[in-house]
Amino acid sequence: MIHPLLLHLVLFFSAAHSDPTLVIKNARIADGAGGPVVSGKVVVIAGDTIVKIADQKKWKTPAGIREIDGSGLVLSPGFIDMHNHSDSRILQQPGAMTQVRQGITTAVVGQDGGSKEPLATFFSQVEKNGTAINIASTVGFGSLRSLAMGDDWRRPAKPEEIAKMKALLDQDMKDGGFGLSSGIEYEPDSYSTTDELVEVTKTIKPYGGYYVSHVRDEGAHVLDSWRELMVISERAGVPGQISHIKFGSVSSWGQFPKYTALMKEADAKGLKITADCYPYNYWHSTLRVLVLSRRYDDLAEVKRGVDDNGGPENIILTDYAPDPSVVGKSLAQIAKEKRMDPYQLYMQMIRETDPAHRKPEWGEDVEGILGISMQEDDIKNFYKDPRVMVSSDGAIDGGHPRGAGTYPRFLGRYVREYKVVSLEEGVRKMTSLPASVLGLKDRGRIAEGMKADLVLFNPDTVIDRSTIKDPTAAPEGIPYVIVNGQVAVENGVATSARGGRVLRKGK
Ligand SMILES: [Zn+2]
């Protein structure tokens, strides 16, 4: 027999739990699953949950409960960014203003092989500090490799080192990691063999994790690199996702039909292969990534690498600690000013930023570049593929405008202007599709019982305003963003709400 006082408390809390705290009316609803946009409904939120989707004519909001008027706006689930680098700054900038203003309510960090280790420590720091957006993380293969191999990583790992990586990864997965990320174009991941990657990736299978990769070569050998990802997915028995998919160099252009054929092959084998893509024709990386053979003092190699990435006029410095005055200029421009050959200039810059003699005062961002080396048509074709979702590859105060503009740019250009996909399909690519790869059952759709991560945007005006010169500028046409039922953006301005949480796989 339940004690009457206890019963009273139970009833009190369950009633309090479903009492509305926020109501959104007059909006057209894109549910995230790809269904047609509907009107005439109100979305009722109690605490952090959508508790009711009611007929607006029959609904009356109780006195004193806040209503948001969504007239002229589309209500969508919050955007889930599958490739996000906010882990670099979320502890310093828990408001994550550039992220939340563009509608990102969940950022999946730990990308390109680099995660904060161990995840449990990072997660508790984020929780203690507060966050405006939800943070989920994959485990970085490169981070594990560094921990297991120390400074001696310019070779394939030995069996005992692989065992160490697997043990670290297993613990991170127990603590809520969503999968394994690699960045095989970068050190130390680039020294790994496919066998090594397969063996480590097997660890995530019992947890339902996925393998996600910045592949070995995004340029000349991109098709081989995607095939390697397929092999890893198949042999480890886990879904595979291609990070920021692109034909990233001049020599790789014109091969879209080969991508289609490869994906058909994956489907025929029953593999689950997905990809994410950012809506920009230029990437952000390091000077070093231009010469994959790492033979930085071989002029012919340097010339091949620079030219295949669009040539000296299409490579623009975003960071250069030894001489910050060159930031914003292309290699061609800087070379002209210095009366130097641009390839010799590149070689000099590599020497000046050699990891062996970097100055502590240079900080983490010693050198960085934008490379304009993708074709618009390829981006459009990727977005037409139902397996390809949107990601930013951005950071809270990163040097690439995608860090503040990805989602409004996708909606404004690729959906509204180019009509690459319908509004419903565009929303699905930012919401339920990533949620399904993550295995998130309570986010990514608008339905009763789902968490109240929501975005209100104006489909006629939404657009990015961030540029190479002003990479953190706020977008237009996203007046409201709600994270776990809390208003995180109001009239386009980030609030002080810290409604975000750490999301842990399986919890
Ligand atoms: Zn990457």
DSSP string, 20-56: -SEEEES-EE--SSSPPPB-SEEEEEETTEEEEEEEG
436 C-alpha vs ligand 1 centroid, how far in Å?
21
Confidence of residue 2 (pLDDT cuts 50, 70, 90): low
pLDDT for residue 11: 46
Q: What are phi and psi of 139, to 5 degrees?
A: -105, 130
The DSSP code sequence of 45-95 is: EETTEEEEEEEGGG--PPTT-EEEE-TT-EEEEPEEESS--GGGTTTT-TT
User: In the structure encoding, which two tokens stand for residue 163, read together?
Assistant: 């065992």
112 C-alpha vs ligand 1 centroid, how far in Å?
5
Using the predicted structure, report yes or no on whether residue 400 has a pLDDT greater than 50: yes
- Quick one: DSSP state of residue 190? G
Q: What is the pLDDT of residues 263-287, one digit of tens each?
A: 999 999 999 999 999 999 998 889 9
Question: Cβ(423)–Cβ(459) under 8 Å?
Answer: yes
402 C-alpha vs ligand 1 centroid, how far in Å?
13
Average pLDDT over residues 400-425: 97
User: Average pLDDT of the chain?
Assistant: 95
Average pLDDT over residues 299-317: 94
190 C-alpha vs ligand 1 centroid, how far in Å?
13
* Residue where the block lists tokens 């995660």: 115
Confidence of residue 390 (pLDDT cuts 50, 70, 90): very high
Q: What is the pLDDT of residues 124-143, one digit of tens each?
A: 999 999 999 999 999 999 99
Can you tell me the distance from the alpha carbon of 483 to that of 355, in angstroms, rounded to the nearest whole number?
40
Q: Identify the three-state secondary structure at position 112.
A: coil
Confidence of residue 6 (pLDDT cuts 50, 70, 90): low
Stronger pLDDT, 18 or 72, i.e. the higher one = 72
327 C-alpha vs ligand 1 centroid, how far in Å?
21
Average pLDDT over residues 295-312: 94
Taking the complete model, does pTM exceed 0.75, yes or no? yes
485 C-alpha vs ligand 1 centroid, how far in Å?
32
180 C-alpha vs ligand 1 centroid, how far in Å?
14
244 C-alpha vs ligand 1 centroid, how far in Å?
7
pLDDT for residue 399: 83
Confidence of residue 9 (pLDDT cuts 50, 70, 90): low
111 C-alpha vs ligand 1 centroid, how far in Å?
7
User: In the structure encoding, which two tokens stand for residue 411, read together?
Assistant: 């909606």
pLDDT for residue 365: 84
433 C-alpha vs ligand 1 centroid, how far in Å?
20
Confidence of residue 15 (pLDDT cuts 50, 70, 90): very low
pLDDT for residue 8: 54
Can you tell me the distance from the alpha carbon of 137 to that of 111, in angstroms, rounded to the nearest whole number?
8
360 C-alpha vs ligand 1 centroid, how far in Å?
25
53 C-alpha vs ligand 1 centroid, how far in Å?
39
113 C-alpha vs ligand 1 centroid, how far in Å?
9
Q: What is the pLDDT of residues 327-373, one digit of tens each?
A: 999 999 999 999 999 999 999 999 999 988 899 999 888 999 999 98
pLDDT for residue 357: 85
393 C-alpha vs ligand 1 centroid, how far in Å?
7
Using the predicted structure, report yes or no on whether residue 437 has a pLDDT greater than 70: yes
216 C-alpha vs ligand 1 centroid, how far in Å?
10
379 C-alpha vs ligand 1 centroid, how far in Å?
16
488 C-alpha vs ligand 1 centroid, how far in Å?
28
> Which H/E stretch holds residue 284?
strand 282-285
407 C-alpha vs ligand 1 centroid, how far in Å?
18
pLDDT for residue 4: 54
342 C-alpha vs ligand 1 centroid, how far in Å?
26
Provide the residue ranges of all domains of the chain, joining segments of one domain with +.
282-372
Can you tell me the distance from the alpha carbon of 66 to that of 251, in angstroms, rounded to the nearest whole number?
56
70 C-alpha vs ligand 1 centroid, how far in Å?
36
85 C-alpha vs ligand 1 centroid, how far in Å?
9
494 C-alpha vs ligand 1 centroid, how far in Å?
27
Using the predicted structure, report yes or no on whether residue 144 has a pLDDT greater than 50: yes
Confidence of residue 12 (pLDDT cuts 50, 70, 90): very low
CA-closest candidate to residue 320, choices 289, 283, 282, 358: 358
Can you tell me the distance from the alpha carbon of 459 to that of 411, in angstroms, rounded to the nearest whole number?
7
183 C-alpha vs ligand 1 centroid, how far in Å?
6
82 C-alpha vs ligand 1 centroid, how far in Å?
11
285 C-alpha vs ligand 1 centroid, how far in Å?
8
CA-closest candidate to residue 290, choices 192, 181, 369: 369
370 C-alpha vs ligand 1 centroid, how far in Å?
13
Question: Cβ(113)–Cβ(141) under 8 Å?
Answer: yes
409 C-alpha vs ligand 1 centroid, how far in Å?
20
Average pLDDT over residues 149-172: 97
246 C-alpha vs ligand 1 centroid, how far in Å?
11
Using the predicted structure, report yes or no on whether residue 385 has a pLDDT greater than 70: yes
